[in-house]
Amino acid sequence: MIITMTDTFDIREINEKIQRESAFVDLLTMELRKVIVGQKHMVERMLIGLLSNGHILLEGVPGLAKTLAINSMANAIQAKFSRIQFTPDLLPADLIGTMIYSQKNEEFVVKKGPVFANFILADEINRAPAKVQSALLEAMQEKSVTVSGKSYLLPDPFFVLATQNPIEQEGTYPLPEAQLDRFMFNLWLDYPSMEEELAIVKSTTVATSYEPKPVLNTEEILYFQSLIRKIPVPDNVYQYAVNLVSKTRTGTPQAHALANEFLSWGAGPRASQYLIIGAKCHAALSGKYSPDIEDIKAVALSVLRHRLVRNYKAEAEGMSVDKLIDKLIV
């Protein structure tokens, strides 16, 4: 497949190219599901995050295929993968790299860190101190890092999947709200069903295992990311997304009564941006030419979950963020 990044399209051409690219994404999805049993929601949201050029924060207990998912995706896309285990003694230099002295060249050279990859698994990101978290989140936002005063661009595409363990919170460094806002999606993973767990046990306790076959390359991913941006969006969909986010902002004229009652802080403009770009990608993967309000609703929970801060009344009355978002989506 030949890709020209400078192509310009009219509306009909965009639709045709979306349909063609969706077929390649379907192949990628099939490869992932040959390795990952269940977790359909996680696989779909990972694809939307990747193709929307965003990043994902995953929360779930150990053993729910978080590492396997992103490793399999990297193999199926022919991309470089790095796993970084975040620990309390990790330093920013362990992440982004440092200067070392080369006896051969008799000068200092840069030794790039594991962040220089296409797919990053930041495992248990909340176990590293704030300066390490900030180093990764700066790389996510700027797509570059600075080593000894010199800036270095990170490879493209650059996709970060960070994980947090909801148990064992002692000795952790929770991400501040401003840093959580850098993630496009926050996904909560649950245990597999009985049938899914039975299939997992059967497939992982035998001598043979399946390795994903490369079905895409990084150039095709970059092309799809560019194509997603060109999808037209109706004005009523823009309006719905902005109105939904405005409902969460307490103390404003647009705030919903439930937000004023149960929230101490609402979502910022980045939430509106991610609602639209996520809806575009969700529509494209569903074979639609343009997103509608249902596409906004499909991604709203993952986009808003980590951007709303509950107050004491919400905690006392058991009003979860998920319940509140469900009530705001009408």
Provide the CATH number for the domain around residue 283: 1.10.8.80
Pairwise CA distance, residues 99 & 91, whole Å: 14
Whether residue 102 lies inside any domain: the answer is no
Confidence at residue 2, expressed as pLDDT on a 0 to 100 scale: 36
Confidence at residue 263, expressed as pLDDT on a 0 to 100 scale: 93
Tell me: do 133 and 75 sit in the same domain.
yes
Tell me: do 133 and 59 sit in the same domain.
yes
Q: Is residue 162 classed as helix, strand or coil in its secondary structure?
A: strand
Tell me: do 181 and 246 sit in the same domain.
no
Tell me: do 124 and 213 sit in the same domain.
yes
Tell me: do 168 and 306 sit in the same domain.
no
DSSP state of 27: H
* Last-in-domain residue among 183, 209, 230: 230
- Among 55, 137, 53, which Cα is nearest to 96's? 137
Largest CA distance in the chain: 68
Per the CB < 8 A criterion, the answer to whether 206 and 259 are in contact is no
List the pLDDT tens digit at each of the 330 positions of the chain. 333 333 444 666 666 666 666 666 777 778 787 787 777 788 888 889 999 999 999 887 777 777 778 788 888 888 888 989 998 999 888 998 887 777 776 677 778 889 999 999 898 888 888 888 888 888 888 888 888 778 889 999 999 999 887 766 666 788 888 788 999 999 988 777 788 888 888 877 877 777 778 888 888 889 889 888 888 899 999 999 999 999 999 989 999 999 999 999 899 999 999 999 999 999 988 888 889 999 999 999 999 999 999 999 998 998 999 999 999 997
Tell me: do 20 and 50 sit in the same domain.
yes
Range of the domain at 301: 231-330
Query: Can you spell out the DSSP letters for 168-225?
Result: --TT--PPPHHHHTT-SEEEE--PPPHHHHHHHHHHHSSS----PPP---HHHHHHHH
**pTM of the entire predicted model:** 0.87
Report CA 172 to chain centroid distance, whole Å. 22
Whether residue 82 lies inside any domain: the answer is yes
Whether residue 31 lies inside any domain: the answer is yes
Q: Is residue 56 classed as helix, strand or coil in its secondary structure?
A: strand
Task: Indicate the burial class of 245 (C-beta count within 10 angstroms; 0-12, 13-18, 19 or more).
Answer: buried
Whether residue 182 lies inside any domain: the answer is yes
φ, ψ of residue 17 to 5 degrees: the values are -70, -35
Q: How many domains does the chain have?
A: 2
Tell me: do 224 and 238 sit in the same domain.
no
Tell me: do 175 and 237 sit in the same domain.
no
Q: Is residue 295 classed as helix, strand or coil in its secondary structure?
A: helix
Tell me: do 51 and 166 sit in the same domain.
yes
Whether residue 215 lies inside any domain: the answer is yes
Confidence at residue 219, expressed as pLDDT on a 0 to 100 scale: 87
Whether residue 238 lies inside any domain: the answer is yes
